Amino acid sequence: MKNTVKTQNVYLEFTYHDGEPFAAYLRLPRRSDDTVDSTDEAELDLMVDYTADGRPIGIEILNPSQSSLNALNRVLKSLELDYITVKNLSPLTFVA
């Protein structure tokens, strides 16, 4: 089962297994033809996907029930992108 919520110019998608959040993916602004060329660990359980020309296009959240909004925002700041707020995520409060 998947849920998707648009937050600013990004999409946050959760994948569930047995009713628990299993993984999440924050889709960052991208072109329609962008593909993942490489992935780097930015923080524990937060992996950034990059295009061949080095643009970040997504963040894999490997353990969403243990990941913090602060950690995600540190990664977004390092990528010079807008923060995600609790208000942005309010439709997903049932995940916590």
Q: pLDDT tens digits for 41-91?
A: 999 999 999 999 999 999 999 888 788 889 999 999 999 998 888 776 654
pLDDT at site 74? 95
Q: Please, is 24 exposed, middle or buried when counting C-beta atoms within 10 Å of its C-beta (0-12, 13-18, 19+)?
A: buried
- The answer to whether the pTM exceeds 0.85 is no
Q: Where are the domains of the chain?
A: 2-85
